[in-house]
């Protein structure tokens, strides 16, 4: 009898706990949080501050400024680059701000904002490399890239290229350093930042900039209302000077 009573009490307790948890869940929508997916090893666009581990970068600041205009709090969700669009489609995140180039292929799956940054692809090789001076000379070479990126797509079109794909750009640079690759193909501002932050000790930029690319903020196809709000906020931060301020802070020059 006592055992049965205990079981019954346990059941009541369980129901109460679940009920309370449910209430807590119902209260949270009051805090308007915008979950923004980013692959956070891509400085100067999104990365973690060494000591605090806080997410920082151009995209992070732009999203915070956009969030402020929309009255929403931005929360960065660190996600592998090739997992960002699936996470958006699966509603784990509300938006992507990850130096993501607007491409026709991606635009079939997501809703892109107006472009917010002009970029392009470039090549990094070891300082003593004299054989690779442009994209043509990447033929037959071992090229390190980040998986799922426009850089990866571009090098796959190069004749006989031995493409090595990594989860992050930093792993691609490490492979170059370790002589496991002859070149890294990645976004120009990220290559420049890598070289400026110590990479130039044994690596250099070569050749022309390939593909004029533009970054966009992505939201789910069905989220047209959010897409509109983000575009409006982007216009506002361009008008009120906030965009230029953030741009200068990260790139040391006025927006192009
Ligand atoms: N801009 C490139 C792309 O969209 C790389 C972005 C990234 O690695 N974060 O594919």
CATH code for the domain in which residue 239 is found: 3.40.190.10
Same domain, 102 and 158: no
pLDDT at 6: 54
In a domain, 18, yes or no: no
Q: Is the pLDDT of residue 186 over 70?
A: yes
Ordered strands of the 95-96 beta sheet: 73-78, 33-38, 95-96, 218-220, 110-112
For ligand 1, atom 7, the nearest C-alpha belongs to: 99
Mean pLDDT calculated for residue range 80-91: 97
Q: Which of 166-175, 203-212, 246-255 has the lowest mean pLDDT?
A: 203-212
Same domain, 204 and 157: yes
Q: Is the pLDDT of residue 141 over 70?
A: yes
Same domain, 144 and 179: yes
Mean pLDDT calculated for residue range 47-62: 97
Same domain, 112 and 233: yes
> H or E segment at 85?
helix 84-89
Same domain, 199 and 85: no
pLDDT at 212: 87
What's the 211 CA to ligand 1 centre distance in angstroms? 13
Structural domain total, the chain: 2
In a domain, 192, yes or no: yes
Same domain, 130 and 150: yes
* Host domain of residue 77: 30-116+216-251
Q: Is the pLDDT of residue 20 over 70?
A: no
pTM of the model: 0.87
What's the 253 CA to ligand 1 centre distance in angstroms? 22
% pLDDT > 90, the chain? 86
Same domain, 74 and 103: yes
Q: Which of 85, 96, 100, 105 to mutate to test the pocket of ligand 1 (most atoms within 8 A of CB)?
A: 100
Q: Is the pLDDT of residue 78 over 80?
A: yes
More confident residue, 214 or 23: 214
More confident residue, 21 or 235: 235
Ligand 1 atom nearest to 119, measured from its CA: 1
In a domain, 6, yes or no: no
Tens-digit pLDDT profile for residues 92-109: 999 999 999 999 999 999
Same domain, 39 and 112: yes
Same domain, 69 and 193: no
β partners of residue 34: 74
In a domain, 5, yes or no: no
**What average pLDDT is seen over the chain?**
91
Mean pLDDT calculated for residue range 186-191: 98
pLDDT at 4: 56
Same domain, 203 and 231: no
Local confidence band at 7 (pLDDT 50, 70, 90 cut-offs): low
Same domain, 70 and 103: yes
Mean pLDDT calculated for residue range 76-101: 98
Local confidence band at 5 (pLDDT 50, 70, 90 cut-offs): low
In a domain, 242, yes or no: yes
pLDDT at 244: 98
Q: Is the pLDDT of residue 11 over 80?
A: no
Q: Is the pLDDT of residue 64 over 90?
A: yes
Same domain, 75 and 198: no
Ligand 1 atom nearest to 169, measured from its CA: 8
Which residues have C-beta atoms less than 6 Å from ligand 1? 39, 42, 81, 98-101, 146, 149-150, 187
In a domain, 3, yes or no: no
């Amino acid at each position: 009898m006592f055992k049965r009573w205990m079981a019954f009490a346990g059941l009541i307790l369980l129901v109460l706990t679940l009920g309370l948890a449910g209430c807590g869940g119902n209260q949270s929508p009051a805090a308007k949080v915008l979950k923004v997916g980013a692959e956070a090893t891509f400085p100067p666009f999104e990365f973690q501050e060494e000591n605090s581990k806080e997410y920082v970068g151009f995209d992070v600041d732009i999203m915070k400024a956009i969030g402020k205009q929309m009255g929403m709090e931005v929360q960065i969700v660190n996600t592998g680059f090739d997992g960002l669009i699936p996470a958006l489609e699966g509603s784990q995140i509300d938006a992507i701000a990850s130096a993501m180039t607007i491409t026709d292929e991606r635009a079939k799956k997501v809703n892109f904002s107006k472009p917010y940054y002009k970029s392009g692809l470039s090549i990094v090789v070891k300082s003593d490399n004299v054989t690779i001076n442009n994209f043509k000379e990447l033929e037959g070479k071992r090229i390190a890239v980040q998986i799922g990126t426009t850089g990866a797509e571009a090098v796959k079109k190069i004749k006989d290229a031995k493409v090595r794909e990594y989860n992050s750009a930093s792993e691609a640079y490490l492979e170059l350093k370790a002589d496991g690759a002859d070149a890294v193909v990645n976004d120009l501002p990220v290559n420049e930042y890598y070289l400026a932050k110590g990479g130039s000790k044994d690596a250099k930029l070569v050749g022309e900039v390939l593909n004029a690319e533009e970054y966009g903020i992505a939201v789910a196809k069905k989220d047209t209302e959010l897409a509109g709000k983000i575009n409006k906020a982007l216009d506002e931060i361009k008008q009120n000077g906030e965009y230029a301020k953030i741009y200068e802070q990260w790139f040391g020059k006025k927006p192009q």
